[in-house]
Amino acid sequence: MPFNELRAIATFAKAIELGSIRKAALAQGVTPQAASHTIAHLERHLGVRLLHRTTRSLATTEEGRHLLEQALPALAALEGALTQVKEARHAIAGPIRIAGPKSTFAPVLAPLLEEFCQMHPGIQPEVELNDAIGDWVHERVDVGFRIGVHHPGSGLIARRLFPLQLIVCAAPAYLDRHGVPATPADLSAHRCSVFRNPVTGQIEPWFLSHDGAMQQHRLPPAFSTNDLELELQAVLAGQVIGQLTNLSAAPHIRTGRLVPLLLPYISAHYGVYIYYGSRSAQPKRVRAFIDLAVARLQDAPAFVLDRQELEAAAQSWRRARRRVRPHKS
């Protein structure tokens, strides 16, 4: 079988990129023995040593470094040409790796994925929802979503989609039994739910806005959990007052199942962000998904409650309460 110089150089470059001949073999769909043999054959063919190998590390010799510098642009150009041909043939199709937070994010992501897959049936989503923030570059994530204050990290672009509102709210049944807190100081006399961070195990404070600044309020917990959906159900059942995100609370506030409270203190310091790598290096399917996500989620009317809507919801409950009181007496 004739010696394939191009394949041998590509195997050598992939081994350096991934730091392992075994990983290079896996990436190219061959055995580690075959990859090692190919690189050794290339060294014999050139009459120089290209790699310093140990059981734990891999490094280029001076000759190997020089070859890599000269060969990488040509390999990248060839790979780019092949990719363009494949994309032109298959349009927007293939796997797309998406990462995001586990807590409360499924209602945001699910309809977006459904629409994208209907538009492009050849797409194969690979979704990982996890509240721990990993190394997305190392994990080869195409598109990521995060809640909080953005820290894009090396090689990533972050774009804010919409604010994360932290809304104190309760079910009408709770307010009928326990009354309505008028100020944050009143909360200490109420049954409040608190969230236990599933990553750190720590109890999270409530975050309230005071004169434009966010302040932490630690409350005695009447109910605590590390699951936001369970906390939502406890608030809906009238067991406790909760500070919920707009992702969880918005549909229930709009239907009257929850009443927003302490409106001047709603915090919107955090945001929902989309993360991705350089657009110039993205496959067409990744660019298409990012464009759809921004188009559907920018300022997200389905999840963001403006002050007028919040006040209208609170007033609607007060009017309903006044109508019921004479009937009860």
Write the DSSP string, 265-323: G-EEEEEEEEEE--GGG--HHHHHHHHHHHHHHTT-TTT---HHHHHHHHHHHHHHHHH
Q: Is pLDDT above 70 for 262?
A: yes
Listed in sequence order, the residues at least 6 apart from 100 whose beta carbon sits closer than 8 Å to its beta carbon are 109, 127, 128, 129, 144, 145, 146
Residues 74 and 160 in one domain: no
Domain that holds residue 67: 5-90
Residues 47 and 157 in one domain: no
d(CA 259, CA 244): 11
The per-residue pLDDT of the chain, averaged, comes to 86
Token pair for residue 148? 């909080």
Residues 203 and 312 in one domain: yes
* Helical axes 62-90 vs 5-18, angle rounded to 10°: 100
d(CA 293, CA 62): 46
pLDDT per residue over 146-203, tens digit each? 988 766 566 788 899 999 999 999 999 999 999 999 999 999 999 999 998 877 888 9
Q: Tell me which of 255 and 324 has the higher pLDDT.
A: 255
Residues 135 and 222 in one domain: yes
Greatest pairwise CA separation for the chain in angstroms: 100
31-50 average pLDDT score: 84
So what's the pLDDT on residue 47? 85
Residues 19 and 147 in one domain: no
Given 68, 90, 112, the domain boundary residue is 90
pLDDT per residue over 222-261, tens digit each? 999 998 899 999 999 999 999 999 999 999 999 999 999 9
Residues 147 and 38 in one domain: no
* Helical axes 284-297 vs 106-119, angle rounded to 10°: 130
* CATH number of the domain within which 34 lies: 1.10.10.10
Number of structural domains, the chain? Answer: 2
What is the rounded end-to-end Cα distance, in angstroms, of the chain?
97
108-114 average pLDDT score: 94
Token pair for residue 212? 């434009």
d(CA 159, CA 145): 10
d(CA 165, CA 276): 24
Residues 23 and 140 in one domain: no
